[in-house]
Structure 1
Amino acid sequence: MNQFLAILNEILAASFKGVRGYVKAAIKMSILMFIILCIGLWWIGISWWGVKALGIAIIDIIPVLGSGIIMLPWALVYLLMGQTSLAWQLGLLYIVLVIVRQIADPLITGREIGVRPIYTLLSTIICIVLFGPIGAVLGAIIAVIIKAIFDIKKQYTS
């Protein structure tokens, strides 16, 4: 019984360390998105670009939807107002955000939580399919827990 509790305690400690890494990765991704948004909004000529970039970067933490909640309607409003150039520029900035996130997120998250990026990506995709948008967060957490279990198992079988 004591050995079981010791193993469970190690798994929980490793899992919390991984979750802490996931939070660090989310903060790093938000900073990256903020920088890209600042540059893009400044380049486009949007007033108060820094404040708007900060707001969008904070909203970008929401799994799956993220910055699209703001960027897509914003571009659509400009398109309907007849400002097609500005609408296309905002749309292009959103596409850049999505591409950078798709490339950087598994790399940064995988590095922070100690799981290979491909496993983080696969876990996230499977969890999104199974659980919907909340699966984007659950995927990384489940990958952390599985890694912790395998690491502890390896310690006790060696």
Structure 2
Amino acid sequence: MNGKLLTWRQRGWLWLRLMVRLLLALLAAGLVIWVGRPMLSLLAPFVAALITAAILNPLVRRLQRRLCWSRRALTMVLLVVLFGLLGAGLGFLGYIAGQEIVALAQNRDGLLESLQRMMDQLQSLSDRLWALVPEQLSDPMQEAMTGLLNWLNQTTPALVQRLADYTTNKAMGVPSFCVALVVYVMAAYFLTADYPYLRARAARGMDQGLLAFLGEVRTVALGAFGGYLKAELLLSVGVFFILLGGFVLTRQPYGLLLALGLAVLDFIPIVGAGTVMVPWAVVELITRNFSSAISLMVIWGVIALFRRAMEPKFVGDQTGLSPVLSLLSVYVGMKLGGVLGMILGPVLTLVLLNLAGMGMFRGLRSDLAAAAWDVAAILSRRPEDP
């Protein structure tokens, strides 16, 4: 542009194109928020089944060439084996976790005694700290403590009621979840068995250019999503074994159950195992159980070092995003969409970067550059210029 002013006709078409692009972007965002999310929730079993079919299709095709079986029979055997192994693994972990939960329930009196001792130690520490407070501040602090206790007495029943309602709602949702699981398994079989036919029929009804574009988007999205989940899963598995090894070495009761629960927490972005281990270590330190506090902090330090050292490599290797872009996309996704946004943020970022590399936003970049040059040329004009 070289700082030259556009004609009014050129300027009108430029800003009209930008306005149309902005309106289309807002319309797409509105459709995703107000239509896409409810539809995704409604069709979640079928979406999950379609993703499963897309992932299993190469394996089914390869086995079909080698074994010369019918696709439906091969799909049935493969799904039975996969779901059987998954169910057996989950059942084994559930059995061990159930044993530890039963042992935990049987040791209820001992746990209550430990909790009472901890509360007594906290009360003793509070009394000693209270004795250090000057007399001038004693009355205001006593009033503040009384107000806090009154607030807790008022809000605790409401919190307990909310917790009970939440638990009841989740329990009532178990039959619906079971139905959705059955629908998912059946849909996974039908879609995997008929995947080549369904794909060919969908391709016949599309323009070749649109088909190629959607194929690129699908490849990028599946690669990004699968890579990100694979990276986080590998990190969580590593954290699980670090926790399990640390709890076994320190002879921590219910080590497997604790390691499994903390590893699941660690899989959730931003949350991590430290949200439980650090307060746990602080409580152990306050109650003068120094060896347990030190062991917990050492285990958490090893986990933190492991994640800091391996997370950029795993996420970068699996998704192709730099650590800075990965962190930025996770943070923005958390602000916009919560936990789901944290998971999908890196995926959408990688998809947008690949679409930009394919030239999808080339016209938008040209119009933005032209608009910037036009604004700069207008602002640089002097009053005496014609």
User: Which TM-score band applies after superposition, normalised by the shorter structure?
Assistant: 0.7 to 0.9
- Structure 1 match to 2:325: 123
1:45 maps to 2:264? no
Could you tell me whether the CA contact under 8 Å between 1:34 and 1:57 is conserved in 2? yes
Residue 269 of structure 2 aligns to a residue whose secondary structure is: coil
What is the match of residue 81 of structure 1?
287
Structure 1: state its 5+ residue gaps.
Answer: 154-158
Residue 151 of structure 1, CA deviation:
5.6
Q: Which moved more, 1:142-151 or 1:77-86?
A: 142-151
Cα offset, 1:68, TM superposition: 1.4
Amino acid at match of 1:64: I
Match of 2:219? 13
Deviations 1:46-75 (A, max 9, x none): 122222111111111111121012211211
1:85-124 → structure 2 map (5 Å cutoff): 85-113=291-319, 115=320, 119=322, 121-124=323-326
- 1:30-57 CA-to-partner distances (Å, cap 9, x unmatched) read 1110111111112222122222111111
Who wins on radius of gyration, i.e. which is larger?
2
Deviations 1:89-133 (A, max 9, x none): 2012112111211111121122222x05xx1x1112323554547
Q: Judge which range, 32-41 or 45-54, deviates more.
A: 45-54
Q: Which runs of 5+ in 2 are unaligned?
A: 1-205, 360-386
C-alpha contact 1:44 1:89 (8 A) present in aligned 2: yes
Q: Are 2:329 and 2:349, in contact at CA under 8 Å, matched by a contact in 1?
A: no
Q: 1:60 to 1:101 in 2, by over 3 A?
A: same
What amino acid is the match of 1:36?
I
User: Does the Cα contact within 8 Å between 1:128 and 1:136 map onto a contact in 2?
Assistant: yes
Pair 1:146–1:103, CA change in 2 (3 A): farther
Normalization by structure 1: what TM-score? 0.79
Measure, in 2, the Cα distance between the counterparts of 1:17 and 1:69. 31
Amino acid at match of 2:219: A
SS of match in other structure, 1:66:
coil
Letter in 1 for 2:290: T
Q: What amino acid sits opposite 1:49 in the alignment? A: G
Amino acid across the alignment from 2:324: L
Looking at structure 1, the residues matched to 266 and 227 of structure 2 have their Cα atoms a distance apart, in angstroms, of 18
2:269 alignment counterpart: 63
Identical aligned residues as a percent: 26
Structural RMSD (CA): 2.5
* 3-state SS in 2 of match to 1:76: helix
The offset of 1:139, in angstroms, is: 4.3
Alpha-carbon contact 1:18-1:141 (below 8 Å) kept = yes
Which residue does the alignment assign to 1:34?
Answer: 240
RCO higher in 1 or 2 (8 Å CA, sep ≥ 6)? 1
Residue equivalent to 1:156: none
Residues 51 and 28 of structure 1: is their aligned pair in 2 closer, same or farther, counting only changes over 3 Å? same
Q: TM-score, normalised by structure 2?
A: 0.35
Matched residues, number: 150
* CA displacement at 1:138 relative to structure 2: 4.3
